[in-house]
Chains A and B, each alone.
Chain A
Amino acid sequence: MDENGIREDGRKADEMRPVEIECGVVPVADGSAYIKWGKNEAIAAVYGPMECHPRKVQRQDRAILDVRYNMAPFSTTDRIRPGFNRRSREISKVTRDALESVVDLELYPRSKVRVEIEIICAEAGTRCCGITAASVALADAGIPMSDMVVSVAAGKCNGIVLMDLNKPEDNYGEADLPMGILPMTDELVFLQMDGDLSMDEFKIAWDYNIKAAHDVHKIMIEALQKRYGGDV
């Protein structure tokens, strides 16, 4: 950060990378979304509700979300070996936990809704990217939800709390606080954090996230309006 409070990529401390969202990019899916978030690019597709297989994971009282987060082998500088690893399984799980908190699953007992998240280009912050894209894809699929989850992350680099770390800031940074926010009520459905934050820094990061979530929410709404018209 320079003496005027401007970061290496030209942003202010509380400024997000540019976010673009487009709905309906996977024609065969029931709902889908593409998100470009800085250099991050992700595609989310939703299929269902459909019969739940395997039977073992079926729930008698509600549907389940079957969420998969995956990074394409070419999405990072060093090629990623294809297939699930511990990181992607954990991210799939926390994404499912976040989205299941808003989807009205009780409407569809014994069924499942598949949510596929593919990261095709990664720059830091892919889990937030994936959750946000998946929310738009669920809305695009017409799955009833109490609100859309907007996921954003503030972090800390060189002792300064910064919104939405890019790759170098993330690599050399000291903390990362991703949150999943419901913009209608400012409630949370997703929360992770790693690194080192004092309670004061933590509060600043938290407030940055709430503000940014509302900005990203507008972009999500615009994407849905563009596809369907009218007020969403």
Chain B
Amino acid sequence: MAIPIIPSLLRDNLEALAADDQRLDGRSRFAGRELEIEVGCLANAEGSCRVRMGDTIVFAGVKFQIMTPYPDRPTQGGLMTSAEIRPVCGPNWEPGPPSEASIEMGRVVDRGIRESGCIDTSELCILPGEKAWQVILDLFAISDDGNMFDAFALAAIAALRTATVPAERFDVGEDYKLPVAGTPIMCSYQKVGGRFVFDATKREELGGDERIHITLGNEGHVHSLQKGLRGVFTADEFNEIMDAAQSRCAELRDIVHNLEESQ
């Protein structure tokens, strides 16, 4: 990713706004942008989701392959996540091999899902020691206006929860719905003008400091945390965003569940 030039005017502006508890787009600190989620939107993917948060637009696609189980885990399939951020999605994204920013995104989203245990890899076994399903989750962005982490994580879990295992196409039985036992949700907070805000836009990211990603499971348990970028924060600041994340994650989880029912 190219190094963005950060106008000091932007930082000053963000600091002045923060002093009055304001944001560039008029939102309150912990308010998210307008959210659109659509599942089953890509005909050739076995599970898919498009998420739009303000001007950030991402897709998640689920595909399946048959793998040979690892010798030490003969009855388990696998889950693989990768994030691909093409130059299409913004002026600072450049072509080339995966950047560390995209590797971090893929790995943080993957950890939230994997560590919540919502995908039981032993349910992916077809023939012990010989055949198992590998679930491949591809994250693909087409417009980056900030907070791609949350957009990816939301698209990922919605795509998985609505995915169909294509057993007929591979000649190993009848198609069935991929079992997904929980709905881990990520909420991300960025330090802007000296305090954490939820769902930062690209301009807030550019003129901001460190960010923290929190993934919570159905019971409010913590499944993944990640701090990124340069910055220092206190335990009090962390506790405040953790409380905010607890309620926001529950809301987003309901949105995903309602989406499934209406499908």
On A, residues with C-beta under 8 Å from B are 56-57, 59, 86-87, 89-90, 92-94, 97-98, 100-102, 175, 177, 182, 185-199, 202, 206
What number of A-B contacts does a CB cutoff of 8 Å give? 95
| CB within 8 Å of A: which B171-211 residues | 210
Contact, CB under 8 Å: A94 / B227: yes
Asked if A194 and B111 make an inter-chain contact with CB atoms under 8 angstroms apart, the answer reads yes
Top 7 A-B pairs ranked by shortest CB distance?
Answer: A193-B225, A191-B227, A100-B230, A194-B115, A93-B100, A187-B232, A194-B111
Question: Which of A57, A190, A192, A199 is B220 in contact with, Cβ under 8 Å?
Answer: A199
Instruction: Give min CB distance, B239 to chain A, whole Å.
Output: 9
**Measured CA separation A177–B238 after assembly (Å):** 14
Tell me whether B28 is interfacial, beta carbon within 8 Å.
no
Contact B233 A187 (CB under 8 A): yes
Evaluate whether A97 and B117 lie within 8 angstroms (CB atoms) in the complex, with A86-B103, A187-B233, A199-B222 already known. no
Minimal beta-carbon separation of B101 from chain A (angstroms)? 8
**Chain A residues with CB below 8 A from B115, complex form:** 175, 194-196
Query: B224 contacts the other chain (Cβ, under 8 Å)?
Result: yes
A190 to chain B, nearest CB (A): 6
Question: Complex formed: what's the CA distance from A92 to B217 in Å?
Answer: 28
Minimum Cβ distance to chain B for residue A128 (Å): 14
Asked whether B235 is an interface residue with its Cβ less than 8 Å from the other chain, the reply is yes
A51 → chain B closest CB, angstroms: 17
Q: Interface size for chain B: under 10, 10 to 19, 20 to 34, or 35 or more residues?
A: 20 to 34
Q: Which residue of A92, A101, A182, A196 is within 8 Å of B210 (Cβ)?
A: A101
Residue numbers in B under 8 Å from A177 (CB-CB)? 225
* Residue on B nearest A147 in the bound complex, by CB: B232
By the criterion CB–CB under 8 Å, are B219 and A194 in contact?
A: no
B91 to chain A, nearest CB (A): 15
Contacts of A87 in B (CB 8 A): 107
Interface residues as binary, B97-125 with A (CB distance below 8 Å gives 1, 0 otherwise):
00010011011000100111100000000
A59 touches which one: B3, B210, B227 (CB < 8 A)?
B3
A residues near B114, Cβ cutoff 8 Å: 194
Contact B100 A189 (CB under 8 A): no
A197→B220 CA distance, assembly (Å): 9
Q: Specify which of A93, A193, A199 is in contact with B104 (CB 8 Å cutoff).
A: A93
What's the minimum C-beta distance from A230 to chain B, rounded to whole angstroms?
Answer: 27
- Complex CA–CA separation, A199 to B225 (angstroms): 13
In the complex, chain A residues whose CB is within 8 Å of the CB of B117: 196
A192 touches B227 (CB 8 A): yes
Q: How many angstroms from the CA of A198 to the CA of B227 in the assembled complex?
A: 19
Asked if B13 is at the interface of the complex by the 8 Å CB criterion, the answer is no
Give every chain B residue within 8 A of A193 (Cβ-Cβ). 222-226
Could you list some 13 contacts between A and B, CB below 8 A?
A56-B2, A57-B3, A89-B100, A89-B103, A92-B100, A97-B227, A186-B235, A188-B234, A192-B225, A193-B224, A195-B115, A196-B222, A199-B222
Nearest A residue to B106 via CB reads A86
Query: Does B39 belong to the interface (CB within 8 Å)?
Result: no
Interfacial chain A residues near B222, Cβ < 8 Å: 193, 196-199, 202
